[in-house]
Amino acid sequence: MLTPLTCPAMFSQDECAEIIRMAQIEGLREAGLVRGRQNESIRTARISWLDEEGEADWVFSRVTSTVIAANRTHFSFDLTEFAERVQVAVYDASNASHFDWHSDIGSGTFAEKRKLTLVAQLSDPADYIGGRLELNATGRVDVVGTVQGDAILFPSYILHRVTEVTDGSRYSLTTWIHGPAFR
């Protein structure tokens, strides 16, 4: 079983603030599930998508270089592309935002090709209560990604969730790296 990998200081505090600013300018809309389905008992959050070109190109460049290095040394997956844009999510206490247990592999066009998931913590953990990113990679629940600017990289088949935010707002950046089906 491949374990998650922490990528420390992927973004500085100022870079995290800049990513949040770009997401807010782009506009935040209600998050859905695969194929845009809505189910508030599973997920309540708002999201924005950043393009790999233009103002956010440096974000994609950082993600790409981090993933290439981590895959080479830790995962050795057959990766072929970043088929989806970078997602910025906000989990907010005003609507009890959360994302229940799930894996990132599914039956959607992109979801069926996901091999790795990267989640970067954009908020200062002092800005919110709850909103823990929890992974269950080994049959034990682990809280991960609590340091602003750090990222966690893990196989997309690992179960994970974001617990309910009860105070403040938590921002995170997520992207998926794609390849041929696991064998």
pTM: 0.94
Residue 46 belongs to some domain of the structure: yes
Does 183 fall in a domain? no
Query: Where in the sequence is the domain holding 34, given as residue range(s)?
Result: 5-178
Is residue 165 a part of any domain in this protein?
Answer: yes
Nearest to 119 by CA among 98, 141, 96, 88: 88
Which tens digits make up the pLDDT trace of 135-161? 999 899 999 989 999 999 999 999 999
Q: Which tokens belong to 61?
A: 């460049």
Residue 32, domain member (yes or no): yes
Residue 89 counted as domain residue: yes
For residue 87, what are the β-bridge partners?
49, 174
Total domains, the chain: 1
DSSP track, 143-157: EE--STT-EEEEETT
Dist. CA 26–CA 48, nearest whole Å: 6
Containing 161, the helix (H) or strand (E) segment is strand 159-162
Residue 162 resides in a domain: yes
CA–CA dist 132, 56 (Å, integer): 26
16 in any annotated domain: yes
CATH of the domain at 93: 2.60.120.620
Using one digit for the tens of pLDDT, what is the confidence trace for 114-132? 999 999 999 999 999 999 9
Instruction: Provide the 10 A C-beta neighbour count for residue 18.
Output: 17
Residue 34 in contact with residue 65, Cβ under 8 Å? no
Secondary-structure percent of the chain, ordered helix, strand, coil, rounded to 5: 25, 35, 40
- Which tens digit of pLDDT belongs to each residue from 2-60? 889 999 999 999 999 999 999 999 899 887 655 555 556 688 899 999 999 899 999 99
Residue at 108 is within a domain: yes
Tokens describing residue 118: 């990267």
